[in-house]
Structure 1
Amino acid sequence: MKSVVEIRQLTKKFSNQRGIEDVNITVEQGDIYGFFGPNGAGKTTVMKIMTGLSRADRGEVRLFGHSVKTHYEEAMAKVGVLIETAEAYTYMSARRNLELAARFYPGIGRQRIDEVLDIVGLAPYQNEKVAGYSLGMKQRLGLAAAMLSKPELLILDEPTNGLDIEGMVQIREIIVRLAREERITFLISSHLIHEMELMCNRIGILHQGRLVREGLVAELREEGGTLEQAYLREIEDVRRLAAHA
């Protein structure tokens, strides 16, 4: 399989000494890759460096073979991004928000806006003001905006965070369907391990800024139990090694 994302020795330290250290990740074409870790583990930091919103102290990120640091436009040409919260003009309709976003992409017109509204299930509500949307609807609008340019890779930071069960299921079903029908590759961060288990085929476990395990979800399950149990085993191993260091 062709590697879509290659991250090597990515390191960034903040003044409080938190951050990430020597993170290595590979996301292959067709993956729904779950980037899992508790709040504060460094998931968003990695994603911001990946998308040029932050600069690493050391290491390299390559998207579709292009370095984000030296060939940013080429690296991001096939990438859609939704980091942290989905931003929108709440006094405008969903359609108007997408029309404004489409101006940043050449050749994106009414037909593509209709397509993404239909994909995320907002077509019936497209002319309503976003102020009246639920959190789940706002997340779906953010996903629609990230998809406007017909990306081959979608980077989504906590896309189900704060949603109720129905909203979480809706976002999950959209992601799985896009991977299957549109052949989009996903890198998704979350601190909800059950969500990761339901939609991802590969996972990277981040703990205190370090990637402690990367592999197929099926392989982790085969080692015994659920993904949650696999995570707890990995963290226990890390703590045991640290205690004997």
Structure 2
Amino acid sequence: MDKIVEVEAVTKLYRNRRGIRDVTLNVRQGDVYGLFGPNGAGKTTLMKTMVGLSRADKGTIKLFGHDVTTHYEQAMARVGVLIETAEAYEYMSGRKNLELAARMYPELPAKRVDEVLELVGLTAVQHERAGKYSLGMKQRLGLAAAMISKPELLILDEPTNGLDIEGTVQIRELVKRLAREERTTFLISSHLIREMELMCNRIGIVHDGRMIREGVCRELLEGRFASLEELYMHEVEQDRRAMAHA
């Protein structure tokens, strides 16, 4: 399979010395890649650096073979992004927000707004002002905006944040269906390891700004661990011991 995302030895540190250090990962076409770690582990920093919202101190990032630093427009042409909280014009309806986003892609058919509203479950409330939406509804709207251009790669930071159980299941099944039927590639961050286990075929564990383990989920678990939670606890403990003796 083709490599869609190539991150090679990327470091991004802030003044407080927090950030990411020497992170390497690859995401292939059709993957649902889960970037897992606790809050503050560096997941959002990595995603921001990948999409050009922050500049790496060192290392290289390529999307679809294009370097994000030197060929930004080509790298991002087929990418949809939802990072941190979903932003919307609160005085406008959910539908108007999406119609505004769709104007950036003049080749899109008019029905695309209806399609994404249906996909994320907002059809019934599309004419309500976004300012009246709950956190979960705003998150769905942000996801719809990220999907509006039919991107081949979706980079989603905590996409189920604020969703109830029904909404979480709906988004999970949507991700799996798009990956299976349309070969959409996903890079998804979360601190909810059960969701990662149910949704992703590959996972990368981020701890203290470093990638400490990545691979195909079933291969990482096979014969040793009953769940990703057990794998995570084992890897973190091993990492702590290694750092203590470094």
The TM-score normalised by the length of structure 2 is 0.96
What amino acid sits opposite 1:124 in the alignment? A
The alpha-carbon deviation at position 100 of structure 1 amounts to 0.9
Residue of structure 2 equivalent to 1:232: 233
* Correspondence 1:68-217 to 2 at 5 A: 68-217=68-217
Which whole-Å deviations, capped at 9, do the CAs of 1:143-188 have from their partners, x for residues lacking one? Answer: 1101111100000001112333222222212211221222210000
Are the aligned partners of 1:89 and 1:97 in contact in 2 as well (CA < 8 Å)? yes
The alpha-carbon deviation at position 106 of structure 1 amounts to 2.6
Gaps of 5+ in 2: none
Are the aligned partners of 1:102 and 1:109 in contact in 2 as well (CA < 8 Å)? no
Residue of structure 2 equivalent to 1:66: 66
The TM-score normalised by the length of structure 1 is 0.96
Are the aligned partners of 1:157 and 1:190 in contact in 2 as well (CA < 8 Å)? yes
CA RMSD between the two structures: 1.2
- Partner of 2:111, secondary structure, is helix
Identity %: 69
- Partner of 2:236, secondary structure, is helix
Q: Which stretch of structure 1 is more off in the superposition, 211-220 or 110-119?
A: 110-119
Residue of structure 1 equivalent to 2:16: 16
- Partner of 1:219, secondary structure, is helix
Are the aligned partners of 2:152 and 2:183 in contact in 1 as well (CA < 8 Å)? yes
The alpha-carbon deviation at position 109 of structure 1 amounts to 4.3
Are the aligned partners of 1:206 and 1:212 in contact in 2 as well (CA < 8 Å)? yes
Tell me how many residue pairs correspond in the alignment: 245
Distance in 2 between the 1:109 and 1:129 partners? 24
Distance in 2 between the 1:191 and 1:49 partners? 19
The alpha-carbon deviation at position 23 of structure 1 amounts to 0.2
Classify 1:162/1:114 alpha carbon distance in 2 versus 1 (closer, same or farther; 3 Å). closer
Residue of structure 2 equivalent to 1:241: 242
Which whole-Å deviations, capped at 9, do the CAs of 1:193-228 have from their partners, x for residues lacking one? Answer: 111001000000000010000101111221221100
